[in-house]
């Protein structure tokens, strides 16, 4: 793993031919996330300052954080920590922005920010995972079918 530290953001964009409210539900309801987010169920009451989490199919907590901003159906800002390695990795901040791009089409932007420098090697997981997650979300909303992709495993030293 590279020991180079970085604060580079990752920004991924996808266009989805549905209403903004549907994208919002897909991000905040577990019946949707379980189908495109590598089987993870999202949980929160979606109030600013509340805890939110992603639960693995076997019931363990995977990602936990705090809801920083919640403005349905436009903007959701979440802090992001690995639940099974508390304090080992710097917290990152994930922002979803949902905009009406043109008639009937929504532009979903996911920004992963790193306020604390993070090892470049640790970004690789997200760089592989996010495009699959966002393509899966688009596919699920537009066709009713999620992509059937295997869950990529984190680097060995990071596995739960």
Least distance to another protein, CB of residue 64, Å: 26
What is the footprint of another protein within residues 71-110 (CB under 8 A)? 109
Establish if 135 lies at the interface with another protein (CB under 8 A): yes
Return the H-helix or E-strand segment holding 8.
none
CA-wise closest residue to 141 among 14, 54, 56, 45: 14
User: CA torsion sign, 83 to 97 to 13 to 95?
Assistant: negative
Closer CB to another protein, residue 5 or residue 149? Answer: 149
117 binds another protein (CB under 8 A): no
Cis peptide preceding 9, ω within 30 of 0: no
Q: Does 10 bind another protein (CB under 8 A)?
A: yes
Separation CA 41–CA 29 (nearest Å): 8
Span near another protein by CB under 8 A; candidates 20-28, 65-73, 85-93, 127-135: 127-135
Q: Is the distance from CB of 82 to CB of 66 less than 8 angstroms?
A: no
User: Cβ closer to another protein: 16 or 67?
Assistant: 16
30 is a site residue for another protein (CB under 8 A): no
Q: What is the phi/psi pair of residue 87, to 5°?
A: 75, -5
Binding site for another protein (CB under 8 A): 8-15, 109, 111, 127, 130-132, 134-135, 138-139, 147-150
């Amino acid at each position: 793993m590279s020991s180079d530290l970085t604060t580079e953001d990752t920004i991924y964009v996808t266009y989805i031919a549905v209403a903004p409210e549907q994208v919002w539900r897909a991000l905040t309801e577990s019946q949707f996330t379980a189908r495109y987010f590598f089987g993870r169920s999202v949980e929160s009451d979606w109030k600013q300052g509340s805890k939110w989490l992603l639960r693995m199919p076997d019931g363990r907590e995977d990602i936990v954080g705090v809801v920083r901003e919640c403005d349905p159906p436009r903007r959701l800002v979440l802090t992001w920590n690995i639940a099974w390695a508390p304090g080992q990795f710097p917290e990152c901040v994930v922002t979803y922005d949902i905009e009406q791009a043109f008639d009937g089409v929504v532009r979903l932007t996911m920004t992963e920010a790193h306020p604390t420098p993070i090892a470049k090697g640790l970004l690789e997981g997200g760089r592989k995972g996010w495009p699959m997650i966002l393509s899966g979300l688009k596919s699920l909303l537009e066709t009713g079918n999620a992509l059937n992709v295997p869950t990529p495993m984190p680097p060995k030293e990071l596995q739960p």
